[in-house]
Structure 1
């Protein structure tokens, strides 16, 4: 072989086509990869601006979501984050608006499980109210308990009507049964007062969990007769309920 000169092909070497390098890149990586367009400064600035706007929008959306979650947590979501003190405040406010209510006293909330509480208040109702107005007051308290209960908090109360004290829950029907039974037992000879609610285990609407206390000066056989009659009448309404007696 011969050389084409100082800048030519050396003997034994084959002259390559200047386009071979581009062809090799095309074969290896696909057409159009032999060279890449270089962005101008203006294009780079525009791209950076678009990315910045996207980041700001995403941050705004995230902030709104976080605020919503925090607000939901503070107000209680699905019983996961209950607020028993807030429930007591709401019930107390509603109870004080009921005609005939003189005073509302809150007890300490009782935690019943990981994210559940029972709260209880004592509501003093004017003992001088006519029976119909006392009934209306108790019904209104039950409606308030139903309205406030939720988010892992159950609301209960004891309505102190003077001669009788009645457990109030969100179940209006059970609450009215307690009121009617308390009045019925108060009419037994020798009984001066009745408490018809629940036992030391805590508030409940289950019949067997009800505890009725008759207040009487009776002793001996007289006391036995009073308790027997009270037990008979009580278990006709709340099967399995507990009946006790106490001195005034």
Structure 2
């Protein structure tokens, strides 16, 4: 078959193809405008700016959520300040308590805190009254804690300072030991608790016993030996320190 370059409708084939392209895209390729470098730069700048804004919003929202979880929502999450307020309520009117001081809460985990207070007692309380008071303080600490907050305290009994936790058994041991050490000749004050400034703990090896004595020279080693023996009989591995009375 011989063709003369026309299609069956009589149009030259190339001309018809060009006409179709012209209708679709315009008579010239310039009808589809090529973006300049400046236009492309502005587009990428707009996209980048939008991405930064979105990322900033996400970070802000996540920070708000995490902060809210850590500080507490509606009493469900940890609120160490409220736990110490509950402790105040538990001790309101308790005989022998003269003052309750709150300390800065220590964060122990993502959503857990140790809330600490110093409870000053009437130094004139006798041994039986001190025992009852320390037991009451331990129950109050147990009741005030919860929702990720552990409440602990230092009971200031005058010449004795005793760590108080929710464990009444361990708290009672601290008081008994402190009283026993206080009766050693040459001892004028005793602190029986966890390490000062350390994490509160009821483990025997985590206890820290500090006794004060006005003794000097050769009088000190016998006191150290007696205090150490008495302490390790109750709390094996506990730290013992004998310091000069201030």
Q: Deviations over 1:60-105 (max 9, x none)?
A: xxxxxxxxxx9x93112xxxx2000000111122223221100111
Is the CA contact 1:96–1:102 (under 8 Å) kept in the aligned structure 2?
no
Instruction: Output the CA distance in 2 between the equivalents of 1:85 and 1:195.
Output: 26
| 1:217 paired residue number | 214
Is the CA contact 2:162–2:174 (under 8 Å) kept in the aligned structure 1?
yes
Is the CA contact 1:103–1:123 (under 8 Å) kept in the aligned structure 2?
yes
| 1:130 paired residue number | 126
Q: Deviations over 1:205-231 (max 9, x none)?
A: 010000000011112221121111101
Instruction: Output the CA distance in 1 between the equivalents of 2:153 and 2:117.
Output: 5
TM-score, structure 1 normalization: 0.68
Is the CA contact 1:210–1:238 (under 8 Å) kept in the aligned structure 2?
yes
Q: Does residue 117 of the first structure (1) align with residue 113 of the second (2)? A: yes
Instruction: Output the CA distance in 2 between the equivalents of 1:170 and 1:210.
Output: 15
Is the CA contact 1:216–1:245 (under 8 Å) kept in the aligned structure 2?
yes
Gaps of 5+ in 2: 1-68
Is the CA contact 1:98–1:141 (under 8 Å) kept in the aligned structure 2?
no
Runs of 4+ in 1 over 3 A off after TM superposition: none
Is the CA contact 2:161–2:190 (under 8 Å) kept in the aligned structure 1?
yes
Is the CA contact 1:179–1:196 (under 8 Å) kept in the aligned structure 2?
yes
Is the CA contact 1:167–1:178 (under 8 Å) kept in the aligned structure 2?
yes
Q: Does residue 91 of the first structure (1) align with residue 87 of the second (2)? A: yes
* Aligned-residue offset at 1:190: 0.2
| 2:200 paired residue number | 203
Q: Deviations over 1:138-188 (max 9, x none)?
A: 110000011111110001001111121100000000000000000000000
Instruction: Output the CA distance in 2 between the equivalents of 1:175 and 1:242.
Output: 17
Indicate the larger mover: 215-224 or 146-155: 215-224
Q: 1:245 aligns with which of 238, 242, 246?
A: 242
TM-score, structure 2 normalization: 0.68
Indicate the larger mover: 105-114 or 220-229: 220-229
Instruction: Output the CA distance in 2 between the equivalents of 1:104 and 1:73.
Output: 26
Is the CA contact 2:90–2:144 (under 8 Å) kept in the aligned structure 1?
no
| 2:182 paired residue number | 186
Q: Size of the alignment, in residue pairs?
A: 174
| 1:145 paired residue number | 141
